[in-house]
Amino acid sequence: MRTEEQDLDTPDEIDSEEAMAAEEMQEIQTMLMSQMEEIEERLNATQEETEFEVGDEVDHSVISQEQTLNSLIESREIERLQQIKDALQRMDSGEYGWCEETGQWIGKKRLMALPFTRLSLEAQMEQERRANRNRGVGGFSEDTNYAGNYRD
């Protein structure tokens, strides 16, 4: 949500090259709607393909692996679908294009490349830095040594 103070950052204060024209916003909305329809079609098709015939153990193993992979793909598709719906909702509410962490304008280039983003590039990088710090460098936390043993 944008605060009154953040509302002072109106599009008039945004660099003219970064401001989004109504046509560009409509273009992004149309693209999001198209992506949403494509994902919904794929999800419906995936549900129809889940039936299989009885076979031997190898067949069941292969089918099981395919179902696991399809499940992973389906969960990513569902997540992307929700991101798209959230972006469309932000468009309707007038919050689209504004960083949820900083309240600053995200930028036209980033929005065109990643139309469902909620964060500016700077906020995204900071979020990733925090996540990496929490995980520790190279996947090791600060409480373990390189052998994976806890420090005394």
Residue 109 lies in a domain: yes
- Within 10 Å of residue 94's Cβ, how many Cβ atoms? 9
Judge whether 62 lies within some domain: yes
The total number of structural domains that make up the chain = 2
Give the pLDDT of the chain (152 residues) as one tens digit per residue: 444 444 444 445 555 556 677 888 999 999 999 999 999 998 888 766 655 555 677 677 777 888 888 889 899 999 999 999 999 999 999 999 999 999 999 988 999 999 999 999 999 999 999 999 888 755 554 444 444 444 43
Say if residue 87 is in the same domain as residue 125: no
Looking at the fold, whether 44 and 102 belong to one and the same domain comes out as yes
Q: Among residues 103, 132, 116, which one has the least CA distance to residue 4?
A: 103
pLDDT given for residue 41 in this prediction? 92
User: Residue 35 domain-assigned?
Assistant: yes
